[in-house]
């Protein structure tokens, strides 16, 4: 470590001690500060490696200095005779559940505040009619890429297709969109066939959208983001005339945030009759497949032998919308399944129930233990659901494949390591009072494992049990064991004392 | 004996550490594994209850060794009696913090 850094950390530590000393009553302040400074000097000297200094020593010194605040608060409490540690709560089952519930509440609040999470966790906003597929020319093409021209769409629509009973087309352009003709930032505008929203239908988001041209002007639908940004959220915009590029159109509605899940990320949708569809422009085709077609789907894909008079090789692939509209719950369930499946690979799933004697806790004690374990698992799964959504959609305003992968990964890891912690925690809780056993004491020596016993003993501070954990698992002592203390031990642990 | 204070395990560990020769705050922390925010308040309470006493080292000794003077603690008579009772109350205490004689054995 550089001397300058070391000096800076030293200065910081002295500052911490000085701040802490301000909390101590004035008449004791000098004495406390003197003791802290003296001990800090000796501590650094003891912790530092010979001939230099290390981060470990500085970290220990800073931890020591931060502990001074606790000393100071305690000193004030002692003077007022009202400060006591609450030993009954420390490490108790109630404390554990309280912390888990706190984390859950925090992740729920975040989920409520983050717009991406809010949209994602309300699937009713983006549900579409069942049996919809996105047509593409090649099975291996990215489904977010446009592959079908306007002419091909019209050819498909003009001839009866086996297994398809509805087709709609849209293509993406970058155009200005404003009440006047003056320049504005360009937005992603989808030029869509009239029946697009009718075909998607199914949800309240799309139900009220037009299928016919009103008053000669083509209808345009704005996204929530565009409406709020360029039109300041003005509710009177509905029915007014705007210009999409140089074309006048009438605003017909605003699509709620997160409703649009198709490729292209449109900010506005200009609905046009098929006669005005550009023949050469490449876009996307949405198709509704019949029950017969749905029966032929395999792995959310459908091979369609399209009948186009001028193009006998116009085979198409239909990709189901299910991937885009399945919502977070399906991914969550899959990730939880994977995590539980992988759990035995990283920890033992045993709860360490064996004990030295034939003593068995009462049915109620056993029941409360299982209720506590179940409560922890339920809280963990709830945390995993909301926290994974918070992490995945932290910076996203809506659906993205990357966010789905992030949700899958974060749910998996939270569940996997959370379950590992739950099992480890459960193993170290007294079966009687569910408080964590403490004060580990090393017993025996490793060299005497085969003649005697070597391991760690932990005790329940309420005096119910001792936990014996073998240092080196053997065939006769492979897992931890509980020793239930009988009533003759109780007086040793009864009551709370000083310190 | 009914008037003897019942020590918490933390306080008993500190008394045991002092009795085994760890007479400074940092050495008690090292021996018991307890953090500074626990050890010093507990020692103040033990001092308040007259189970331990404290005294500053003479400045001349510290100056001779070119280091700051330290405050060191020792058990009072009442503290020794209480510790003896605590050893019965916490049977693992002596195994967790053995005396130097026991360690050498």
CA count, 13 A, side-chain hemisphere, A304: 31
A102: in domain: no
Contact A43 B71 (CB under 8 A): no
Q: How far is CA A475 from the centre of its chain?
A: 42
Q: Does B2 touch chain A (CB under 8 A)?
A: no
Cβ contact B36–A68 (<8 Å): yes
Domain enclosing residue A188, as ranges: 131-320
Tell whether B89 lies on the interface with A, counting CB pairs under 8 A: yes
| Per-residue model confidence as pLDDT tens digits over A221-264 | 888 888 888 888 888 888 888 888 878 888 888 887 777 878 87
Determine the distance in angstroms separating the CA of B16 from the nearest CA of chain A, rounded to an integer: 13
Q: What's the mean per-residue pLDDT of chain A?
A: 79
Whether B66 has a pLDDT exceeding 80, the answer reads yes
In SS3 terms, A17-74 reads as HHHHHHHCCHHHHHHHHHHHHHHHHHHHHHHCCCCCCCHHHHHHHHHHHHHHHHHHHH
Q: What pLDDT, on a 0 to 100 scale, did the predictor assign at position A82?
A: 44
Q: Do B5 and A498 touch (CB under 8 A)?
A: yes
Q: φ and ψ at B51, to 5 degrees?
A: -95, -25
- Nearest Cα to Cα of residue A196 among A288, A61, A320: A288
Question: d(Cα B95, Cα A45) in Å, to the nearest integer?
Answer: 28
Task: Give the distance from CA A21 to its chain's centroid.
Answer: 42
- B9-92 maps to which CATH number? 1.10.10.10
Q: Residue A411 has what pLDDT?
A: 95
One domain, residues A243 and A304: yes
pLDDT band at A210 (very low <50, low <70, confident <90, very high): low
* Residue A476 falls inside a structural domain: yes
Residue of B nearest to A37 (CA): B68
Report yes or no on A418 lying in a domain. Answer: no
ipTM of the prediction: 0.82
Q: Percent of chain B at pLDDT above 90?
A: 7
Residues B89 and B81 sit within 8 Å (Cβ to Cβ) = no
**According to the model, what pLDDT value does residue A81 have?**
46
* Three-class SS state of B7: strand
Query: Is A441 close to B92, i.e. CB distance below 8 A?
Result: yes
Of A40, A60, A80, which one is at a domain's C-terminal end?
Answer: A80
Size (chain A), residues: 499
pLDDT in the model for residue A357 = 67
Nearest CA in chain B to A39: B26
Residues of A in contact with B71 (CB under 8 A): 34-35, 38
C-alpha closest to that of A393 among A444, A328, A468, A467 = A328
CB contact under 8 A, B11 and A63: no
Boundary-marking domain end, from A298, A320, A342: A320
By Cβ distance, the residue of A459, A495, A496 closest to B92 is: A459
pTM exceeding the 0.80 threshold for the entire prediction: no
% pLDDT > 70, chain A: 82
Confidence band, pLDDT 50/70/90 cuts, at residue A308: low
Q: Taking the CB of residue A120, how many other CB atoms lie within 10 A of it? A: 25
A38 and B69 within 8 Å at the Cβ level: the answer is yes
How many separate domains does chain A show?
3
Does A114 map to a domain? no
> H-helix or E-strand containing A317?
strand A315-320
- Range A331-348 average pLDDT: 93
Task: Answer whether residue A90 shows pLDDT above 70.
Answer: no
Residues of A in contact with B88 (CB under 8 A): 492
| A52 vs A394, residue with greater confidence | A394
From A320, A346, A380, the end of a domain falls on A320
Same-domain status, A31 and A172? no
User: B-chain residues within 8 Å CB-CB of A438?
Assistant: 9
Distance between CA A289 and CA A298 in Å, rounded? 13
Tokens of residue A487, six digits: 């009533």
Calpha distance A89→A92 (Å, rounded): 5
* pLDDT class of A195 with cuts at 50, 70, 90: confident
Please say if the pLDDT value at position A335 is more than 90. yes
For the ranges A62-71, A318-327, A335-344, the lowest mean pLDDT is seen at A318-327
pLDDT exceeds 50 at position A353: yes
Q: How confident is the model at residue A217 (pLDDT cuts 50, 70, 90)?
A: confident
Give the domain ranges of chain B: 9-92
- pLDDT for res A182: 61
Nearest to A46 among B6, B26, B95 (CB): B26
Determine the average pLDDT of the residues in B33-43.
Answer: 81
B47 Cα to chain A: minimum distance (Å): 10
Q: Which of A71, A78, A498 sits opposite B37 (nearest CB)?
A: A71
Assigned domain for A273 exists: yes
Distance (Å) of CA A480 to CA A170, A217, A310, B75: 65, 79, 77, 37
* Distance of alpha carbon A271 from alpha carbon A244, whole angstroms: 11
CB of B85 within 8 Å of a chain A CB? The answer is no
In this predicted structure, what is the pLDDT of residue A372?
94
Which member of B11, B36, B90 has the closest CB to residue A67? Answer: B36
| Domain presence at residue A136 | yes
User: Among all chains, which residue has been given the structure tokens 């459960």?
Assistant: A426
Q: Is residue A89 part of a domain?
A: no
Cα A411–Cα A414–Cα A415 angle in degrees, nearest 5? 80
Q: How far is B96 from chain A (nearest CA, A)?
A: 5
Residue A182 lies in a domain: yes
């Amino acid at each position: 470590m550089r001397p300058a850094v070391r000096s800076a950390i030293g200065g910081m530590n002295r500052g911490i001690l000085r701040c802490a000393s301000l909390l101590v009553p004035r008449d004791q302040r000098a004495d406390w500060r003197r003791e802290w400074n003296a001990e800090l000097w000796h501590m650094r000297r003891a912790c530092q490696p010979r001939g230099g200094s290390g981060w470990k020593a500085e970290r220990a010194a800073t931890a020591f200095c931060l502990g001074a605040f606790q000393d100071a608060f305690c000193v004030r409490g002692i003077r007022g005779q009202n400060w006591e540690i609450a030993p009954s709560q420390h490490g108790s089952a109630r404390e554990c559940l309280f912390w888990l519930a706190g984390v859950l509440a925090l992740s729920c609040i975040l989920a409520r505040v983050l717009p991406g999470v809010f949209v994602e966790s309300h699937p009713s906003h983006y549900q579409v009619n069942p049996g919809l597929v996105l047509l593409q020319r090649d099975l291996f093409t990215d489904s977010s890429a446009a592959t079908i021209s306007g002419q091909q769409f019209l050819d498909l629509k003009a001839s009866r297709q086996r297994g398809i009973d509805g087709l709609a087309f849209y293509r993406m352009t970058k155009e200005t969109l404003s009440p006047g003709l003056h320049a504005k930032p360009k937005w992603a505008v989808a030029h869509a066939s009239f029946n697009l929203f009718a075909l998607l239908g199914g949800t309240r988001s799309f139900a009220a959208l037009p299928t016919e041209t009103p008053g000669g002007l083509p209808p345009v639908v704005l996204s929530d983001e565009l409406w709020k940004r360029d039109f300041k959220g003005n509710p009177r915009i509905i029915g007014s005339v705007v210009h999409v590029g140089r074309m006048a159109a009438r605003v017909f509605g605003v699509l709620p945030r997160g409703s649009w899940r198709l490729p292209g990320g449109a900010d506005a949708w200009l609905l046009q009759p098929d006669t005005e569809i550009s023949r050469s422009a490449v876009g996307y085709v949405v198709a509704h497949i019949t029950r017969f077609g749905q029966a032929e789907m395999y792995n959310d894909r459908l091979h369609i032998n399209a009948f186009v008079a001028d193009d006998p090789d116009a085979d198409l692939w239909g990709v189901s919308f299910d991937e885009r509209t399945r919502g977070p719950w399906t991914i969550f369930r899959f990730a939880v399944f994977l995590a539980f499946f992988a759990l035995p690979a990283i920890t033992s799933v045993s709860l360490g129930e064996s004990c030295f004697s034939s003593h068995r806790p009462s049915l109620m004690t056993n029941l409360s233990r299982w209720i506590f374990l179940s409560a922890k698992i339920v809280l963990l799964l709830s945390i995993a659901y909301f926290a994974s959504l918070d992490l995945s959609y932290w910076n996203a305003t809506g659906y993205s494949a990357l966010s789905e992968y992030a949700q899958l990964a974060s749910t998996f890891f939270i569940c996997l390591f959370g379950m590992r912690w739950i099992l480890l925690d459960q193993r170290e809780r007294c079966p009687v009072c569910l408080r964590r056993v403490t004060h580990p004491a090393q017993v025996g020596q490793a060299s005497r494992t085969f003649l005697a016993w070597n391991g760690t003993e932990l005790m329940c501070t309420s005096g119910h049990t001792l936990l014996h954990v073998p240092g080196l698992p053997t065939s006769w002592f492979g897992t931890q064991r509980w020793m239930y203390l009988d009533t003759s031990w109780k007086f040793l642990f009864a009551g709370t004392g000083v310190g | 004996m009914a008037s003897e204070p019942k020590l918490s395990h933390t306080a008993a560990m500190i008394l045991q550490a002092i009795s085994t020769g760890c007479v400074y705050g940092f050495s008690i922390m090292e021996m018991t594994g307890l953090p500074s925010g626990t050890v010093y308040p507990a020692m103040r309470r033990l001092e308040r209850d007259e189970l331990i006493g404290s005294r500053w080292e003479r400045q001349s000794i510290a100056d001779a060794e070119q280091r700051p003077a330290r405050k060191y603690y020792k058990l009072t008579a009442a503290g020794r009696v209480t510790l003896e009772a605590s050893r019965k109350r916490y049977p693992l205490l002596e195994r967790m913090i053995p005396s130097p004689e026991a360690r050498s054995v």
